[in-house]
Structure 1
């Protein structure tokens, strides 16, 4: 039952993601292993959007390490556990709670010992900045604990990069790039060597804009319409030391019409957005509003207009609403 629920949820979320994003590009699928224990190590820029992109674009059915603060309510905790999310505690959650991480590591190791897959965001936190931050020790600890219990375990580390053209806007482009797998046995039991090798593998996949002139370079890249999801194109542009007077401003009529036909949801977003303190969570909340709110809005509108004898108007309005919703997928690149 649990697997069936996750399968249905995966299909629904994948459909919603393909509506939310203008284009989802997946590269390197040939590197996704089969019949192995897989520790997926990924960069982290867009809160909940990142794990669901990985989950819906592979057949690995991974478990996810998720920050413990979202498990505070029992109902939410049960739901997250049902969809294979495992809490990981940080210092900010309280020093005493850090002891609970041993249970988390034990569960993660058990998943690997049964040739399952674990998804870990190696940086330990998220940021919308386009670069790769230093990796934490957690993924290496899980890998080595699994190998200690079963030295013959066929375990690999799968580096994955997620790069966004725009973290905050729907209709934007996202690129998921799978790299060549790493064999952690080569470095066992040296933590630093495994972390360094994994960082090097990820660094070849993640779009990087140097910190020194980050805002200026980002503005120039946008002004020249460089694909911000492509590491090669970004690197080539930055190597030329191109400059720009400023960001070009574009007005998208499709986006405005989409908001008009979904006005209650747009008002909900305008009310909610100022309350979101972490910018990396904005896309997550926007996606959830669309995932839940769009079907509710369509059904409510249809039944309301049908009840007062305007079913033809309801069908026409919903048709146009869906047209502009899909058209907005090309609105922000």
Structure 2
């Protein structure tokens, strides 16, 4: 039953992502082993959408180390745990809770010894800035504990670069860029301090190549120059080369005008989904305190309230008129959604 549940949820999320993103590109998925212990290590810009993209596009049913704050409500906690999410406590959650991480790390080690896959965001928090922030050493703790308890285990570390054209906008485009596996085994245990530094450097260097990395001290001015040049932020190699060349070797383009009918299709879609849209614009969006959560909450409405509203309208049309009108409405919404998002 667990596998059926996970297959069903993943298929539903993939469908939602298809209607949410204009385009999702995947690179180097062939780097991912199918039956070995894997730790995916991604940069973290776009809150929950980062996790959903990795979960639906890596070909593995992965476990996710997730901040404990989202597990506070019992029902939500049960759902998240059924989706293989494991709560991790941070200092901001209280010093007394940090000891709870011991059991989570031990469980993670056991999962890796059984050749499972785990997803970790080693930056420790999310931020829309296009830069790779310093990595915490939490993921190295899991690696060392695994190798100490299960010395025959070999772990593949796969950095994942997540790239968005404009993460908070709808509809956006994304690139999931899988890196070259870094294999670790018991030989790593010789000098832990050196091994920690080396692993963090290796992962950070790959992430800086797999996604766009703008140095912090010149962040604002660099970003403005890139935006003025209209670079494609889903092409990190080109953008990083542009930065490295001091903007002399840049692939630029003129801003693309949206399709003339796109706005019309979007207005018609809003009319057909007026209640979910009203809830988003007037209730949900004003309550968002961190811009990084904008896409997360918008996507949550797309995969929850929108389908419920569509089913209610179809039920009313089927009962009041005929069933064919209900399906005409469904087809109309699907076509408008595709035209609004994909054009």
Shared fold (TM-score greater than 0.5)?
yes
Unaligned runs of 5+ in 1: none
Distance 1:213 1:192, change over 3 A: closer
* Paired residue secondary structure (1:60): coil
Q: Corresponding residue for 1:207?
A: 212
Contact 2:266–2:340 under 8 Å retained in 1: yes
| Equivalent of 1:241 in 239, 244, 247 | 247
Distance 1:322 1:220, change over 3 A: farther
* Paired residue secondary structure (1:39): strand
- Kindly tell me the number of residue pairs found equivalent between the two proteins: 330
| Equivalent of 1:258 in 244, 269, 276 | 269
Alignment of 1:289-328 (within 5 A): 289-309=301-321, 314-328=326-340
Q: Corresponding residue for 2:106?
A: 106
Q: Corresponding residue for 2:80?
A: 80
Partners of 2:116 and 2:91 lie apart in 1 by: 28
Partners of 1:216 and 1:303 lie apart in 2 by: 54
* Paired residue secondary structure (1:124): coil
* Paired residue secondary structure (1:118): strand
Unaligned runs of 5+ in 2: none
Partners of 2:169 and 2:319 lie apart in 1 by: 35
* Paired residue secondary structure (1:86): strand
Q: Offset at 1:213?
A: 4.3
Distance 1:283 1:118, change over 3 A: same
Asked if residue 273 in structure 1 is aligned to residue 285 in structure 2, the reply is: yes
Distance 1:57 1:213, change over 3 A: same
CA RMSD of aligned residues (A): 2.4
* Paired residue secondary structure (1:183): strand
Q: Offset at 1:316?
A: 4.2
Partners of 1:106 and 1:319 lie apart in 2 by: 49
Contact 1:157–1:182 under 8 Å retained in 2: yes
Q: Deviations over 1:50-108 (max 9, x none)?
A: 11111111222110000001111122111111110000000111100001010110111
